Amino acid sequence: MDEALAMQIVGGVCLLIGMKMNIDPKGFNEDIFGKEAHESSLGEMNALRMAIGGGVLAVAAINLICSLTMDDANSMAALLTASAVGLTLFLVTIIGANLRGYTEEIPKLPMIVLPILATVSLVGAYV
């Protein structure tokens, strides 16, 4: 797979997710956890979801901008590898929250999307 295409796929998906997290953080929380949060914690949860969405938007911006401005395949492969590691670490923190008892279950969306994006990054970097 072409490095630029892999970066654009990862960037585009991250852009959509990050925008959703920032436009409707309450709805995103409900989609992920399947229930409405208690009113007293809603503001903090929404603020944290927006901050996490900002991190996802940063990954999107890095991948999209670099896919259009970089022309060195080795540099692009290095960035894709870094993206795969970062997305995997993000997944590990989500799983860790469950293992530490902070959540009742592991949300399905990140368990599906993050490994796919990490795989696309690695395939783009090395195949």
User: Which pLDDT does position 121 carry in this prediction?
Assistant: 97
pTM score, whole prediction: 0.90
pLDDT band at 1 (very low <50, low <70, confident <90, very high): confident
What rounded mean pLDDT belongs to the chain?
92
34-75 pLDDT per residue, tens: 676 677 777 888 899 999 999 999 999 999 999 999 999 999
Residue 88 C-beta-side C-alpha neighbours within 13 Å = 11
How large is the average pLDDT for residues 18-30? 91
Which residues contact residue 28 at a Cβ distance below 8 angstroms, ignoring those fewer than 6 apart? Answer: 20, 21, 49, 53
| CA pair distance 27, 121, nearest whole angstrom | 28
Number of domain units in the chain: 1
As a whole number of angstroms, the distance between CA 28 and CA 118 comes to: 22
Q: Is the pLDDT of residue 110 over 70?
A: yes
Q: Where does the pLDDT of residue 29 fall: very low under 50, low under 70, confident under 90, or very high at 90 and above?
A: confident
For 8, the domain range is 3-126
Percent of the chain with pLDDT over 90: 75
In the prediction, which pLDDT does 37 show?
Answer: 65
